[in-house]
A and B are shown apart, each in its own frame.
Chain A
Amino acid sequence: MSKLTDAFKNQKAFIPFVAANDPDFEGTVNNVVALAKGGADIVELGIPFSDPIADGPVIQAADLRALKADPDLPMDTIFDMVKEIRKQTDVPLAFLTYLNIVFQYGYEAFTARCEELGIYGLVIPDMPLEERGELAPIAEKHNVDLIPLVTPISADRIEKIAAAATGFIYVVSSLGVTGERSEFANGLADLVNRIRKVTDVPTAIGFGIHTPEQATEMAQIADGAIVGSACVNIVAEYGHQAPAKLTDYTKQMKAAVNANPVR
């Protein structure tokens, strides 16, 4: 079974995100290890892209910081970061990036490296269902799940996307780009129910979640919660001091996704 699906077994999953090379090589390794230490069930590691069209200002800024430090930032450097991470933790990892990064490295070579280093999934916001065919068979061969996104306006695409999914399904909480929010779209429960009719693959809601209360609420609806901008904000604010804060925040959020809601 997929290592990512496994992470949802018997409990709600908390899935934090940080960007690679923000603030630097060592900082990335320490941040991911800190998230794992706090109890993260999966860690999403963002590979910076010059033009992250699905991301809001916070993650855009992280990508820019990461690339400013090293404009060429070779993919092999990021794989080296993962190698270091793997010396300290076996937390399930997924990459979040844009398709061009994978395309340039070569689909075969990229997913082979992922398999070798224990990157179990790829979240690629600019690869919708219709375009996954060029990568899917290669990724499958290397046991890398392609994590699809489903949105509040996916409508009759929901079932088609869910049927093709492995690993987990990323449910987008609301329209727009990533970033902290105070409100989510209506009908998320219906959306998740539609997915569950088609597949046993677990769901995690992301985009905008930052408080423990929101995490509790979203984990009532889906099987897990994904938190990006809030973690990235911690890195932006504390730099090399971020790891301790990330561990604390993860403990809190991990408890929140498994808490009973106060009504």
Chain B
Amino acid sequence: MTELNLELNKNISGRYGEYGGQYIPETLMNELDRMTKAYEHYKNDPEFKTELHDLLVDYANRPSLLYYAERMTKDLGGAQIYLKREDLNHTGAHKINNVIGQALLAKHMGKTRLIAETGAGQHGVATATIAAYFGMECEIFMGKEDTDRQRLNVYRMELLGAKVHPVTSGSMVLKDAINAALQDWTKRVDDTFYLMGSATGPHPYPLMVRDFQSVISQESKKQLKEKTGKLPDMVVACVGGGSNAIGSFANYIDDPSVQLVGAEAAGKGVETELTAATVERGSDGIFHGMKSMFLQNKTGQINPVYSISAGLDYPGVGPEHAYLAKTGRAQYVGITDDEAVQAFEYIAKTEGIVAAIESCHAVAYVEKIAPKMRKDQIIVCTLSGRGDKDVASIAKYRGVDIDE
């Protein structure tokens, strides 16, 4: 594997058109500034880059496979489908790419304590994992609703040595966990690094997370070239806050022939109140440190959101996605719970892969679009994680009662 190019992003201003910025309490401004400067410094530091590379290869199991899904391709009868297998990474999702990068930066900044928010628990588990690896203290904030729903992941984090705080304020889900993590950080910035889990929040997070996740498209571009000699015609990834998607898009943004598609969680339907389809249903706003798109009411109160997938259950989207949507460079499509669950079962039966319910939102879109494309066209679809964690809830969705 070649070293990760952290210089891909020429725009380091923290603004993506009108989106982005640092809308965050004064208490955190100096710390964000230190983080920005540290990142600018270390991303050019050969020693840092070598360490990052070694961790990605030796610890996270990179490069991840680019797998030709021959059965799916045949069955759907259109474009050739390649799956970027982030589900095969250590800890079972793309989250580890970002976590390694940020934790390494934290270490170089002299931080000894990592805090993070988590929804389903995937980012919490990844953060707890890297904290164990680096011997750092680790505290995870998780909505009380989610700690109740995801007891197994709570135990996993504790097993890895992290302390999990159930958050009982607000609606007790992911957005409240982010609020609580930000609040904890304002109390204790000197030794603490807030390890943000998606390409969201104030600058420099969207930039850093994009850079660390861009390993996905750096690899897929090279792998596809080796296999086919071509660029893909379309790249598809699911979008919660947007980290796996921005990483999947990053190396193709300047290739206009490559269509970029983000699959959002439509929940019970984009037109219903039970949705998390931010780009389609949301509007411009300012929240969690960024100007971006959010699901909110007319006054500007942030809406409760819904999706079967805890990892996509967020009322906003990273600022670069808002920009890509606004400029038309990327398209965002809503996938309902029903469609995602159907895709979960479909990819299991056709390819023998149990993929995360989040990732299956992208798979569901591929099922719709591939048959409409020509056989010489190519889709690269990111499988952001593996689906073991979802088996029990999918069974429940289908009315099957199994012991966890």
Are A175 and B186 closer than 8 Å at their CB atoms? Answer: yes
Beta-carbon contacts under 8 Å, B12-38 to A: 21-27, 29-30
Q: How far is the CB of A2 from the nearest CB of chain B, in Å?
A: 21
Say whether A189 faces chain B, with CB atoms less than 8 Å apart: no
Say whether B179 faces chain A, with CB atoms less than 8 Å apart: yes
Give the nearest-CB partner of A50 in chain B.
Answer: B301
User: Given the complex, which residues of B lie within 8 Å of A155, measured CB to CB?
Assistant: 30
Query: A126-B289, A175-B186 are known contacts. Are A131 and B21 too (CB-CB below 8 A)?
Result: yes
Say whether A184 faces chain B, with CB atoms less than 8 Å apart: no
Q: How far is the CB of B292 from the nearest CB of chain A, in Å?
A: 11
Say whether B82 faces chain A, with CB atoms less than 8 Å apart: no
User: Given the complex, which residues of B lie within 8 Å of A57, measured CB to CB?
Assistant: 169
Are B27 and A74 closer than 8 Å at their CB atoms? Answer: no
User: Given the complex, which residues of A lie within 8 Å of B294, measured CB to CB?
Assistant: 100
Interface string of B181-224 (1 = CB under 8 A from A): 01100111100000000000000000000000000000000000
Checking A50, A129, A153 against B170 with a beta-carbon cut-off of 8 angstroms, the contacting residue is A50
User: Given the complex, which residues of A lie within 8 Å of B186, measured CB to CB?
Assistant: 54, 175-177
Say whether A99 faces chain B, with CB atoms less than 8 Å apart: yes
User: Given the complex, which residues of A lie within 8 Å of B183, measured CB to CB?
Assistant: 53, 56, 176-177
Interface-central residue, A57, A130, A149, A155, by most chain B CB under 10 Å: A130
Query: A51-B179, A72-B297, A176-B183 are known contacts. Are A103 and B30 too (CB-CB below 8 A)?
Result: no
Say whether B398 faces chain A, with CB atoms less than 8 Å apart: no
Beta-carbon contacts under 8 Å, A36-93 to B: 49-51, 53-54, 56-57, 60, 64, 67, 71-75
Are B299 and A104 closer than 8 Å at their CB atoms? Answer: yes
User: Given the complex, which residues of B lie within 8 Å of A73, measured CB to CB?
Assistant: 299, 301
User: Given the complex, which residues of B lie within 8 Å of A105, measured CB to CB?
Assistant: 299-300
Say whether B306 faces chain A, with CB atoms less than 8 Å apart: no
Say whether B77 faces chain A, with CB atoms less than 8 Å apart: no
Bound form: Cα–Cα A184–B23 in Å: 25
Say whether B309 faces chain A, with CB atoms less than 8 Å apart: no
Say whether A150 faces chain B, with CB atoms less than 8 Å apart: yes
Q: How far is the CB of B12 from the nearest CB of chain A, in Å?
A: 15
Say whether A141 faces chain B, with CB atoms less than 8 Å apart: no
Bound form: Cα–Cα A64–B170 in Å: 7
Say whether B382 faces chain A, with CB atoms less than 8 Å apart: no
Bound form: Cα–Cα A155–B21 in Å: 21
Number of A residues near B (Cβ < 8 Å) is 42
Interface-central residue, A99, A101, A125, A126, by most chain B CB under 10 Å: A126
Interface string of A125-160 (1 = CB under 8 A from B): 111111100000000000000001111011101000
Bound form: Cα–Cα A49–B23 in Å: 15
29 contacts between A and B (CB under 8 A): A50-B170, A50-B301, A51-B170, A53-B25, A53-B179, A53-B182, A53-B183, A54-B25, A64-B170, A72-B298, A74-B298, A74-B299, A98-B300, A99-B286, A100-B286, A103-B284, A103-B286, A104-B296, A104-B298, A130-B22, A130-B29, A131-B22, A150-B26, A151-B26, A151-B27, A172-B26, A175-B187, A175-B188, A176-B27
Give the nearest-CB partner of A155 in chain B.
Answer: B30
Bound form: Cα–Cα A176–B24 in Å: 13
Q: How far is the CB of B304 from the nearest CB of chain A, in Å?
A: 9
User: Given the complex, which residues of A lie within 8 Å of B24, measured CB to CB?
Assistant: 126, 128
Say whether B302 faces chain A, with CB atoms less than 8 Å apart: yes
- A sample of 20 more A-B contacts (CB under 8 A), given A100-B300, A130-B29, is A51-B179, A53-B182, A73-B301, A74-B298, A100-B285, A100-B294, A100-B296, A101-B300, A103-B286, A125-B25, A126-B24, A128-B26, A130-B21, A148-B26, A150-B26, A154-B30, A157-B26, A172-B26, A176-B183, A176-B186
User: Given the complex, which residues of A lie within 8 Å of B300, measured CB to CB?
Assistant: 49, 98, 100-101, 103-105
Bound form: Cα–Cα A75–B187 in Å: 31
Bound form: Cα–Cα A64–B299 in Å: 15
Interface-central residue, B25, B170, B302, by most chain A CB under 10 Å: B25
Q: How far is the CB of B23 from the nearest CB of chain A, in Å?
A: 5
Are A175 and B179 closer than 8 Å at their CB atoms? Answer: no
User: Given the complex, which residues of A lie within 8 Å of B29, measured CB to CB?
Assistant: 128-130, 154, 157
Checking B175, B187, B299, B302 against A176 with a beta-carbon cut-off of 8 angstroms, the contacting residue is B187
Bound form: Cα–Cα A169–B288 in Å: 24
